[in-house]
Structure 1
């Protein structure tokens, strides 16, 4: 009995692209100027809203913003002026470690946030605000605003510059570093702020840093 003919060999499969090959052309991933403007404005607006909630509820936040809040409570100097002044020394670190573009965008973001925090009390006021709600919502607004800025090569100065540098240079999660610094600053406020406010402030820091920890991972976002 004659043997059945063998089936023809299958055509060779196409070679898969190397793992390092980009999925999209890099030219299409670069943010345009209008996208940067939108992100910087939206990010600082979200952060300004969060700081307004914290101010209404008597809460604190970490980094240079937290230091500015503490000095504001003690001296009655406006938060916007203090925040802008405290961030001045960090621009040298940003310029030498993160580059000119990052430094200029950070300076503009800090300046805009200082203006918005001065403006908000004249256009918005909350008659009643539960501190727990303020901590959670404010933490999410802070995390979202900082994420917008980080993805467009900007920050709000201070410890944020350091945390983004450590993530970029050594792969350390920015959320981890930010949480450690912010919790330290908030806990130092125990000497002048009631413990209940400090507890709610720590919750806000955990919400914000946890959001960044999950959402801002090294290598996940490919825009630049």
Structure 2
């Protein structure tokens, strides 16, 4: 069985390999495509009262606790991470990440006008939402873009203090799950974990060095 791919590991610089660089138009279309898919996954999660890990998980928790829109909270939570992204990943990555975060924040607020789900079984929402969201992340990663947040911080701590990025992100996700028990019923937390597994399976099976040669 292949080793699971975390978001932090997927963002880490890969060994140089020959490939055809993406054009600006290709990057723009990919960012829109990836973010749109992720925003649909978020609709699945929110409609079933579920959450995910990382910065998005924190945004879900605050959304459920305060009833403030997910998009607004997600945008604000990401603000402190852009400085780290600039230092760690460079200008192009940071600008693309900022554009992706901004677009997701807007789409998350507007998505209810385009997509409304009256009834959604939680386990189906978790698995389908995880797969859709994972596919969106895969598109972003292959164009050297992300949704910022905890993955960037994990890579920074790895470089600065030697802490393994995957372990840092796993610790943060575990804390989010524990906090979720105070705001989300336990069974929905279990379904949320199933969604996280589905998301990471998409990355583990499709985001490997050498599998995709464009840059």
1:46 aligns with 2:37: yes
1:190 aligns with 2:201: no
Cα offset, 1:188, TM superposition: 2.6
Mapped to 2, the partners of 1:143 and 1:164 lie a distance apart of 20
For residues 164-203 of structure 1, the aligned pairs below 5 Å read 181-203=172-194
Instruction: Please give the secondary structure, in 1, of the residue aligned with 2:113.
Output: helix
Q: 1:143 to 1:107 in 2, by over 3 A?
A: same
Task: Check conservation: 1:173, 1:218, Cα contact below 8 A.
Answer: no
Mapped to 2, the partners of 1:212 and 1:183 lie a distance apart of 19
Q: Which runs of 5+ in 2 are unaligned?
A: 1-14
Q: Which moved more, 1:115-124 or 1:104-113?
A: 115-124
Q: 1:21 to 1:91 in 2, by over 3 A?
A: closer
* Count of paired positions: 199
Q: Which structure would you say has the larger Rg?
A: 1
1:81 aligns with 2:34: no
Question: RMSD in angstroms over aligned alpha carbons?
Answer: 2.7
Cα offset, 1:135, TM superposition: 0.6
Q: 1:64 to 1:91 in 2, by over 3 A?
A: same
Mapped to 2, the partners of 1:44 and 1:167 lie a distance apart of 27
111, 116, 120: which one pairs with 2:107?
116
Cα offset, 1:159, TM superposition: 2.0
CA shift digits 1:144-164 (9 cap, x unpaired):
111111111110111233467
Task: Check conservation: 2:35, 2:104, Cα contact below 8 A.
Answer: yes
Instruction: Please give the secondary structure, in 1, of the residue aligned with 2:27.
Output: helix
Mapped to 1, the partners of 2:64 and 2:165 lie a distance apart of 31
Q: Which runs of 5+ in 1 are unaligned?
A: 1-19
Instruction: Please give the secondary structure, in 1, of the residue aligned with 2:211.
Output: coil
Mapped to 2, the partners of 1:88 and 1:188 lie a distance apart of 22
Aligned to 2:81: 90
Task: Check conservation: 2:21, 2:214, Cα contact below 8 A.
Answer: yes
For residues 1-224 of structure 1, the aligned pairs below 5 Å read 26=18, 29-162=20-153, 181-224=172-215
